[in-house]
């Protein structure tokens, strides 16, 4: 008997290193008054891997963040949480 696996629910979270969090705050302050800063992930089919670069921020002021870690947390049954930990790119 062959069992088919399926995923019922996948939730995504973004966590930030301290340096990335500070840069994100700068980006948020640079948005126009009343404009909200949305951070969106690509579709699951092209979910970023470790060392991938994401350009995030308001249009025209996007900043590169690197995926330094990707974690998978099983939440029971067919439920998962995928966490991307983002950092700023070290230019040294």
80 falls within a domain: yes
81 falls within a domain: yes
Lowest mean pLDDT segment, chosen from 1-5, 16-20, 76-80: 1-5
66 falls within a domain: yes
33 falls within a domain: no
Rounded CA gap, 79 and 86, in Å? 23
- Burial grade of 57 (CB within 10 A; 0-12, 13-18, 19 or more): buried
**Mean of pLDDT values over 61-69:** 91
Domain assignment of residue 68, given as a range = 52-92
Domain count within the chain: 1
Per-residue pLDDT at 85: 96
Per-residue pLDDT at 11: 86
Per-residue pLDDT at 52: 94
């Amino acid at each position: 008997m062959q069992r088919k696996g399926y995923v019922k629910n996948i939730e995504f979270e973004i966590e930030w290193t301290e340096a990335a969090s500070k840069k994100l705050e700068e980006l948020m302050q640079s948005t126009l008054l009343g404009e909200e800063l949305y951070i969106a992930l690509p579709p699951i089919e092209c979910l970023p891997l470790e060392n991938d670069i994401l350009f995030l921020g308001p249009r025209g002021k996007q900043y590169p963040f690197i995926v330094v870690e990707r974690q998978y947390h099983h939440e029971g049954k067919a439920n998962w949480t995928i966490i991307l930990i983002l950092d700023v790119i070290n230019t040294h």
